Amino acid sequence: MSKEIRETTEDGWDCVRQFGQIDRSIESFRATRYEIANCLRESSTEDIIADMEFLAKDILEKCEQLRRDGIDKVEFVTIEDY
């Protein structure tokens, strides 16, 4: 199946705003990830698991919506903005 070509003046992924939303979701997990990576043990296991479940569900839902919207079938091509 061929991909739809969409022209954009964006040279990054600003043309897919949902990618930014997913990035913010991942960024919101930074404190928990830091705690795990640096063996700080400040949160309870229950809280860490809940944070990981929330992050996983949030990202999965956003990715599923991207597929429903057909973004996985699009190739973005940057054009010059004159």
Per-residue model confidence (pLDDT) at position 47:
95
Give dist(CA 50, CA 22) in Å, integer. 18
Q: What's the number of domains the chain is made of? A: 1
Select the more confidently predicted residue: 10 or 20: 20
Q: Indicate the SS3 state at residue 8.
A: strand
Per-residue model confidence (pLDDT) at position 57:
97
Domain that holds residue 48: 4-78
Q: Is the pTM of this model over 0.75?
A: yes
82 has a pLDDT exceeding 80 = no
Paired with 2 in beta bridges are none
Residue 76 CB contacts under 8 Å (≥ 6 apart), including other chains: 6, 7, 8, 10, 15, 16
Per-residue model confidence (pLDDT) at position 80:
85
